[in-house]
Structure formats: C-alpha cells, structure tokens
Amino acid sequence: MNNLTETSRKNSFSLTTPLYYVNGLPHIGSAYTTMVADAIARWHRLQGKDVILVTGSDEHGQKIQRTAESLGLPPQKHCDGIVAKFQELWEKLDIQYDRFIRTTAAKHEAIVREFFQRVKANGDIYLAQQQGWYCVACEEFKEEKDITEDGYCLIHPNQKVEWRDEENYFFRLSRYQQALEKLYEENPHFIQPESRRNEVINFVKQGLKDFSISRINVSWGFPVPDNPQHTIYVWFDALLGYVTALLEESDEPTLANATKKWYPFDLHLIGKDILRFHAVYWPAMLMSANLPLPRQVFGHGFLTKDGKKMGKSVGNTLDPFELVAKYGTDAVRYYFLKEIELGEDGDFNEVRFVNTVNADLADDLGNLLNRSLGMLNKYCKQGVPTFTGKDIPDDNEIKIMGMSLADKLVSVYQNYQLSSACREILNLIKTCNRYIDEKKPWSLFKQGEQQEVEKILYVVLESVRFAAFHLAPIIPNISNKIYHQLGYSLDFNQKDLGKKINLSSHGQWGILPLNQDLPKAEPVFAKLALPVTNN
Ligand code: MSP
C-alpha cells in the first residue's frame, strides 16, 4: 500500500474521528478510533507539522431523543452529561484533540442552515413521500436484505426496524453517481483500505437513490429552513459538524469562515459501519454545495471480545474506563494499536492483553533499558567517552538495522500502519536483547575490553532511545520515562514539542550523546497481573 499523497508531504495535517452518538457512555469502539486518530496526529506533530484533530459528539436524532425520554431527562441535559464522560475518557487516554464539536452548538445550526440553503439553491433538495423500514439505532433506512425475517436490523439484532411513511425532504444523490465514480477512479486512495474501496465502488455501481434528509416525527434536531415542521436528518447535520469544528472562537459562523484555514480534511478516520455516509453521501453533499472534498476516508474494522461481537445485549461490552483504571493508559493504547492491523477486525482478550503488554513493554523494552543502564553504571564508572553513532562501525548489525528502520518508519506511519510500527520497533529491541546475550559485555569487561563494552552499551541504549521516540505517538508516557532515564528532559505530551524543537534528528539512529551522568535505572513499565478467571 502506498498512499503518500502530496498531503503527507505538506506542512499541515487535518483529521477527524467520527462525532460520537451520545445515547450512552463511550465504549471501547469509540475509544479505539480516537486512540488511532490521536497516534496519527501525534506522529504528524512530532514532524513539526501544524495539526488539527477534530472530535466531538453527534447529539440530535430519534435515537438520542428516545434515550433521553426513557431516562426522563430533557435531551440537552442528557447530552451534557454524556459529553462530559467522553471528555473525561479522552483525558484519561491522553487524547490530544484540538477541537471538540457538539452538534447542538448554536454556531453549528448556522452552518447547517447555510449549507442546506446552498444545496437547495443548487436544485438538489425536493419534497417527496418516504416509505420504508427504519432502524433507529443506525438512524438509517434499511433495504429488505438488511433486515432479518422477523424484522430486526442485521447490525443491531436487538432492534426492530420501524415502518415509516411520511413526507420528507430528499437529497438528489442520484445526480452525483457519475461524479462519485470518477472521484473513486481518479483518486485510488480516497477510500482506504482497498477492500472498503471495492465495497463502496460496488455499492455505487448498483445505482444511487436519493435519500431523505428531514423528519417530521423527530423534534430533537434543527428545523428545516422555511419549513419548521421538519427537522434535519441527523446524518445530514452530523457530517457538517466536521466543518463547524474548524471555526475559530471569534469567527462569524459561516461556511466561508469555517473553510478558510484547515479545510479540506486530509483524513476522516471512521469505522466500517459508517463508510457509506462518509465515502458516498458526504462527498456528494459537498459537491452539491460546491466545497472541496476530503482527501481520504479510512474505514477501520470492528472490535470483538473473546471472539464475539461486542454488544450490550450479549453483555460482553468492554468498559474503557475500567480498562484504563486497571491497566493504565499506555498499556491500553499499545494493545489496541499494536494488536489490530488498522482496517482489519480485531479481538480483545484480557489474558492476551496482559501477556502482550508484559512481554513487549516490560520484558523486552523496559528490561533492555534496565539491564543496559545497570551495566553502564557498573562497567563505566569513570563515565564514557563522548561518542555517538558515528563512532560505531558501519557494519555493526544494530546500527545497520536502526538506520534502515528510520526511513521505513516514516512511510509506515504515513500509511497509518501503527501495528507495523510497533512490530518493527519491537523487532529491533528483541535483536538488541539477543545481541547483549551473544556479546556478553560482562565477560568482555573482565577481559579488559573496555571500548568494546562501551560500544555494545551504546548501540543498545541508542536503540532504546530510538524506539522510545518512534513509539511516542503510541505510548507517550513510557517514552517520556525512557527519555528521562537517558538524560533528556523532553516531554512527549507537550503538544507543540515538534514546533519548539526540530526533532528530525531524533527520528534517526545514532544521536544519543552517551557522555552524560545518567540517573539510576528504574523500571519504565511495571508488569501487569493476569486477570483472575473463574475457569
Ligand atoms: N454518530 C455517528 C457518526 C457521525 S460522524 C459525522 C456514529 N456514532 S457511533 O458512536 O455510533 O460510532 C462511532 C464510531 O465508533 C464508528 O466509527 C463506529 O465504527 C465505531 N465503533 C462502534 N462500535 C465499534 C466496535 N465494536 N469496534 C470498533 N469500532 C466501533 O456512528
């Protein structure tokens, strides 16, 4: 896969997570997308780029209205409570978002109204009768093939679809069939990964139908301009949240203001279930409003637990709050970003989780730092002469590996291959552990081979530093600890670090100046205990 578009080379990067429904507390699915987006944003920031990461909440529609009713709360009050929980979780997961847009914001209404009028003026909105089966959980009309024989939605097996027969405003999606086909053909990286692209192309090939963009039985939404009997369909409203998010605090809420700096987005990161909205409806809506299109839509896979689809009805949901409280932020981030190939489905199993993070972060990475710093203190009491990677022979196997990895990791991160990034880095760390075992610096020290010992410890410690730098978008707190133990005072949680300091040399292998007084080694990651199981 090579999607090095011109965007990845320019000096800014803009991306979004979906705007999450606030019908319930954040779950691990929403946390997953947000952790991935945060790691991508952090990587671009380390390159010194201007980055904007947009996230937020999707608050209108029948689903939220009903949830609030069932709780006996006014919808806005209900939304306020859930939004606070999302923001709390993002803080716990060290998510560095730049904008949090709520679709109930007044400025958003102004944007939605202006957009609606533009699309209408372009002749793409008309009134007609809508008949069909509706899934409130999906907030989407369903085809017969997407419904079980006894009337349940395939995506939400506990949700009966409901018959609707009402007058709605429609968006003339059919008019954009050819333009969309041309878009996919001319921009092969517009939809990623490839399998999702094919899915969308096949869907569009079957012929696009206009879709309804208003409701008459839902009060929780923005009224349609000129016809307040209708409210605007939640998806038509929500997608525009991405645009509203770009307004500056002091801006008048207009499309011109919202699109003047960051727009269009480089990346919409979403789950595969909402691909059609982002890769078909959204670009058609933007074309109609004469606005530029996003550069890429990436549809990631779904998380399962112990091999089963997660769901409230099955009772096997995974609470991200509990997970972070029990195991810590970096472990959670690491597991999901390493163990799941972005784009593929992935499974969570608590035993595998604990074993993975213990093996990689404690036994391999943490232990390598610990043992080599320990040896440095023991065998190089007089301090080590000032040297860097240049003093290491070019045929040193660790140097060769580290240097070639530096370039590789750039393209790996540019293509959002976070899992490969972790695996490649861990591979270097494992090789270093083997290298120490083979070279036996303790014997060399006894034989008086002081210089050899210093070189071995240098290549190993430099590799740990290199690993910490490249893992910083994923495990920023562990990277900080490693850096501090190697004598640096950088803070990878400082958002503008890459702007303040040119970090490009840190991405290279061979920069550690091993001539400083290093603090005493301390474990950077304490091993986690395996969960107690009943069987
Ligand atoms: N509100 C819409 C998005 C509007 S964007 C303008 C929505 N919200 S959602 O809260 O239901 O879903 C948000 C994201 O969470 C989606 O990308 C969805 O794919 C993702 N996930 C929900 N459950 C998931 C898993 N079990 N696994 C991985 N991601 C999942 O859709």
Asked if the structure places residue 310 within a domain, the reply is no
pLDDT grade for 383, boundaries at 50, 70 and 90: low
Whether 515 shows a pLDDT value over 60: the answer reads yes
Pocket flag, ligand 1, residue 29 (CB < 6 Å) = yes
For residues 175 and 115, state if they share a domain: yes
- Same structural domain for residues 279 and 355? no
Among 130-144, 175-189, 208-222, 336-350, which is the least confidently predicted range?
Answer: 130-144
Residue 17 domain flag: yes
Cβ atoms within 10 Å of 334's Cβ, excluding its own: 26
CA–centroid distance, residue 332 to ligand 1 (Å) = 19
Mark out the alpha helices in 58-98 (DSSP H runs): 62-70, 75-92
Give the distance (Å) from ligand 1 centre to CA of residue 433: 40
Contact status, residue 333 vs residue 39, Cβ threshold 8 Å: yes
Does residue 353 sit in the same domain as residue 274? no
Q: Is 340 near ligand 1, meaning CB less than 6 Å away?
A: no
Gap from CA of 17 to ligand 1 centroid (Å): 9
Two structure tokens written together for 535: 């069987």
Task: Provide, rounded to the nearest whole percent, the portion of the chain with pLDDT above 70.
Answer: 96
**Are 170 and 49 members of one domain?**
yes
CA 512 to chain CA centroid, Å, is 30
Please indicate, yes or no, whether residues 356 and 247 belong to a single structural domain of this protein.
no
From atom 17 of ligand 1, which residue's Cα is the shortest distance away? 271
Mean pLDDT of all residues in 377-397: 83
Is position 283 within any domain? yes
Question: Cα separation of 212 and 355, whole Å?
Answer: 49
Does residue 220 fall inside a structural domain? Answer: yes
Of 153, 384, 112, 49, the closest CA to residue 242 belongs to 112
- 414 CB within 6 A, ligand 1: no
Whether ligand 1 lies within 6 angstroms of the CB of 273 is answered as yes
* Per-residue pLDDT at 5: 44
Per-residue pLDDT at 517 exceeds 80:
no
Q: Confirm or reject: Cβ of 299 under 6 Å from ligand 1.
A: no
Could you tell me which residues come within 8 angstroms of residue 289 by beta carbon, excluding any fewer than 6 positions away? 115, 118, 119, 122, 255
Same domain, 248 and 376: no
Q: Grade residue 311 by pLDDT with cuts at 50, 70 and 90.
A: low
Which of 242, 268, 300 is where one domain is finished? 300
Cβ within 8 Å of residue 412, ≥6 positions away: 420, 421, 424
Answer yes or no: is pLDDT of 168 > 60: yes
Backbone angles phi, psi at 116, to 5 degrees: -55, -45
Looking at the domain assignment, is residue 312 inside a domain?
no
Q: Are residues 215 and 355 in the same domain?
A: no
Q: Are 282 and 366 members of one domain? A: no
**Domain holding 68: CATH number?**
3.40.50.620
Name the band, by pLDDT with cuts 50, 70 and 90, for residue 90: very high
Residue 225 and residue 360 share a domain: no
**Residue span of the structural domain in which 450 resides:** 346-506
The reply to whether ligand 1 has any atom less than 6 angstroms from the CB of 343 is no
**Res 1: pLDDT:** 36
Output the pLDDT for position 334.
98
* Claim to verify: residue 33 and residue 180 sit in the same structural domain: yes
Domains in the chain: how many in total?
2
For residue 7, what pLDDT is reported?
45
pLDDT in tens, 9-45: 579 999 999 999 999 999 998 999 999 999 999 999 9
294 C-beta closer than 6 A to ligand 1: no
* Same domain, residue pair 71 and 212: yes
State in Å: Cα 463 to ligand 1 middle: 38
Relative to the CA of 270, which ligand 1 atom is closest? 17
Identify the CATH number of the domain in which residue 423 sits.
Answer: 1.10.730.10
Is there a single domain that holds both residue 95 and residue 232?
A: yes
Q: Which residue has the least CA distance to atom 30 on ligand 1?
A: 29
- Give the confidence band of 308 by pLDDT, cuts at 50, 70, 90: confident
Ligand 1 atom with minimal separation from the 301 CA: 28
Q: How far apart are CA 475 and CA 491, in angstroms?
A: 12
pLDDT at 370: 95
pLDDT over 70 (residue 384)? no
Domain boundary among 267, 300, 333: 300
Q: Cα(239)–Cα(34) distance, rounded to whole angstroms?
A: 17
